A and B are shown apart, each in its own frame.
Chain A
Amino acid sequence: MPISPKLLLGDVKAGDALPDLAYDVTATTVVLGALATRDWRPMHHDKDFAQQRNGVRDIFLNTPNQAAWFERYLTDWTGPHGRLARMRFRMKDSVFPGDRMLFHARVEKVTEDAAGCGWVDLAVTLSVEGRICTECQARVSLPADAAHNPWKLEGDRWRP
């Protein structure tokens, strides 16, 4: 039996808030994220380098791993039928070991294109103790109905 979508386009409206995600960052989180993204630069695993060369207090999460965190946060909400279309990040501050990351998102717009593809635009933030570290504008596609699957759209029918 096929897996049913967790969330349909009609379930979502502008102004909706997603459930928050909180996560306590450790040095392992930062190093694991750097290795998982094949980022060998020392500011993501060498505290002395981060302090002396970057002038920050510790190693910090790299951008590609933050992208993976945002993707996980969004698809936790959409379920597996949700297809990520685009993400735009603005890095404002760093995330260090000892920080508690808080992901929060709000739906800004819900639309449907001529190909029948449903789009949800979201404003997402990663903050630590109320300080926004990264802002992310994201767009995901959701099924318009239980028979629709955004992952099946190819070529010109997929317009992210």
Chain B
Amino acid sequence: MSEELGELPEAVQAWIGQRRYQQVGEFDVERGYVLTSCASVENGNPIYWDEKAAGDITGGWIAPPSMLSVWFRPHHWAPQRSGASQPLQIHFDLKQALDLPEAIMTENTIVFYEPVRPGDRLETCQVLRSISPPKRTKLGLGRFWVIDVEYLNQHGQPVGTESYTGFGYRRGA
């Protein structure tokens, strides 16, 4: 089966464990987007809607912890953009380097630390943790990989880490 996908290139193996794509968010954390998120899932938690509740309970407005990755997704278009990295760029690098045109995420773990607040400008980096041998699933033949994304606020405090398991594959292979 490994012959059908070829051996794992040494250059790709060398990515494992490297901290790559260190990046500062394109924009500040903003409350309007917090409310858009809450509205999308009808989340009426008063810490996002009621200033007194936010003051009493969370020491002011915060963003829902589950929005962590939202602050790094670039705008769909921006002037003079060239070669901007995508969120989870390593995921797309792997698809290209391993010639696996389709990919899905199968597992995602998020750990939350300091609350994220409007006005914060977050920083991130990506670390490839592992790549599996070739596997066949109902989607096709491919490989699983695990990527960690680390997030810090502008004070250098960790605000969260995400760990993604992706499966890159060839349909019907």
Contacts and interface: CB of A to CB of B under 8 A. Distances in A.
Interface of A: 2-3, 23, 29, 32-33, 35-40, 53-55, 63-65, 67-72, 75-76, 80-81, 83-91, 149, 151-152, 154-155, 158, 160
Contacts of B65: 71, 84
Interface in B37-53: 37-47, 52-53
Given A71-B64, A75-B45, A80-B47, A2 B70 contact: no
A2 B41 contact: no
Contacts of A83: 112
A3 B57 contact: yes
6 contacts: A29-B40, A67-B66, A69-B41, A76-B44, A91-B104, A155-B157
A143 to B, nearest CB: 10
A68 B40 contact: yes
Query: 8 shortest A-B CB distances, which residue pairs?
Result: A38-B73, A36-B40, A72-B43, A67-B66, A71-B66, A88-B109, A72-B41, A86-B111
Interface residues of B, number: 43
B163 to A, nearest CB: 8
B93 interface: no
A55 B67 CA distance: 28
A36 B57 contact: no
B143 to A, nearest CB: 17
A154 B42 contact: no
Interface of B: 33, 36-47, 52-53, 56-59, 64-67, 69-70, 73, 76, 102, 104-115, 139, 157, 171
Given A39-B73, A160-B113, A67 B108 contact: yes
A38 B36 CA distance: 10
Given A85-B112, A90-B107, A68 B41 contact: yes
Most B CB contacts (10 A, CB to CB) among A2, A3, A149 go to A3
B108 A151 contact: no
Contacts of B107: 88-91
Nearest to B75: A38
B106 A91 contact: yes
Contact of B57 (A40, A88, A151): A151
Nearest to A154: B114
Contacts of A89: 107-109
B113 A158 contact: yes
Contacts of B45: 72, 75-76, 80
Contact of A160 (B57, B111, B171): B111
Contact of A36 (B37, B58, B69): B37
B105 A67 contact: no
Contacts of A68: 37, 40-41, 43, 64, 66-67
Given A68-B40, A71-B64, A63 B70 contact: no
